[in-house]
Structure 1
Amino acid sequence: MNPQPTSSAPDTDTSSGGSVVLAWLFVGIPLAWGVSQTFIKALALFK
């Protein structure tokens, strides 16, 4: 007889898909802007 394995982590999902998307946008938009500005200014150095 093998006992059933137990999980110590609860199986509750506390975040919805919408909040995950909003969190990524909150971080991703400023990050993309910063990378693009850095790229534009770096191109000016090689002209």
Structure 2
Amino acid sequence: MSSTSSTGEQPASSTPGGFIAFAWALVGIPLVYGLYNTVKAASALFTG
């Protein structure tokens, strides 16, 4: 007989908060930079 539950669920694991913050910064900083440049370029098209 196995020691796992009959539903096949895995035990919950926790992710360190520092890793989550690093991952958000790794994605968020370039995203914000790209959005800023896009808005700046688009406003130049519409304002003349």
Same fold per superposition (TM over 0.5): yes
Give the gaps of 5 or more residues in structure 1: 1-5
Q: Percent identity?
A: 41
**Alignment partners' CA distance in 2, 1:43 and 1:17:** 37
For these two proteins, the number of residue pairs brought into alignment is 41
Question: 2-side partners of 1:11 and 1:19: how far apart?
Answer: 17
Point out 4+ residue stretches in structure 1 off by more than 6 angstroms: none
Q: CA deviation at 1:12?
A: 2.3
Residue type of the alignment partner of 1:9: Q
RMSD: 1.4
